[in-house]
Amino acid sequence: MPRFFVERTSEQTAVISGTDAHHLRSVLRLRPGDALTVIDERQQAFQAELTAYEADRALVRLVAPEAIEREAEVAVYLVQGLAKGEKMEWIIQKAVELGAAGVIPLSASRSVVKLSADKEKVRQQRWQRIAGEAAKQCCRLLVPEVFPVAKLAEVQALLPVGCLCLLCDEAAAQGETLPGLKQVLRRADAPPPAVALFIGPEGGFTRKEVAAAAAFGAKRVSLGPRVLRTETAAVAAVTIVMYELADVGGEA
């Protein structure tokens, strides 16, 4: 069933606007009386009925609440070094599908991609649209935020208080002894309210960046004995955290 994010106008009504309204009308060709699922600003899902089109928006009636909980109790943030080509789009899409609460694109020393301020804004808008489409596709109750491109020194201020910061370091694949990501998660006395996963771009983080992250409390962890591509590392890390602390894998 089609699924859209809406703005409530009353207890029983809501509106769908912008490109979503166009998609509803011109692509899906839904008519008044057709059923759909909507999510409001309070992260509540409803079975709904399309009632009318009005200029560039669609009007819907909320029929019944949908009780399924789809958001993880632990907020997982992916701090992703800018990757080249379409990798960044793919990473954001998959992170959202897995349940990430937000993605912070990181301008790292070894990032091949170098964006001007104007291009950063355009890319962020595109990445946010991709996050929105992924959220609808996998029935999320919210659209995770894709933050503006940030420097490493700016990241800590973007994360919630009490966030556990974990930097995935490929040094373990080169012989250095580091604690594994799942071991660090399992050793915690209680689940943290949020986890931030730092993933380097192609070529990984520099030792200077690793030291800078450690200065604000980020712990170095290993994803295993093999060197992973940045897009593989991102998906693997989010999956591990969501499996250990949240809902990936289903109920125990």
Render the chain in DSSP notation, one character per residue: --EEE-EESSSSEEEEEHHHHHIIIIIS---TT-EEEEE-TTS-EEEEEEEEEETTEEEEEEEEEE----S-SSEEEEEEE--STTHHHHHHHHHHHHT-SEEEEE--TT-S----HHHHHHHHHHHHHHHHHHHHHTT-SS--EEPPPB-HHHHHHHSPTT-EEEEE-GGGGGT----BHHHHHHH-SS--SEEEEEE--TT---HHHHHHHHHTTPEEEB--SSPPPHHHHHHHHHHHHHHHHSSTT---
Burial class (CB in 10 A: 0-12, 13-18, 19+), 9: exposed
Please name the fold of domain 75-245.
Alpha/beta knot (3.40.1280)
The residue behind tokens 């990032």 is 111
Q: In this predicted model, what pLDDT tens digit does every residue of 217-248 receive, in sequence order?
A: 999 999 998 889 999 999 999 999 999 998 88
The pLDDT value given to residue 173 = 61
Q: What does DSSP say about strands 7-8 and 13-17: parallel, antiparallel, or unpaired? A: antiparallel
Nearest CA among 248, 207, 250 for reference residue 76: 248
Reported pTM: 0.84
The pLDDT value given to residue 174 = 67
Give the Cα separation of 223 and 202 in Å (integer).
16
Mean pLDDT, rounded, of the chain: 91
pLDDT higher than threshold 80 for residue 67: no
Q: How confident is the model at residue 105 (pLDDT cuts 50, 70, 90)?
A: very high
CATH class held by domain 3-66: mainly beta
Please measure the distance between the N-terminal and C-terminal CA atoms of the chain and give it in whole angstroms.
Answer: 28
| Segments of the chain assigned to CATH 3.40.1280.10 | 75-245
State CA 44 to chain mean position distance.
19
| Segments of the chain assigned to CATH 2.40.240.20 | 3-66
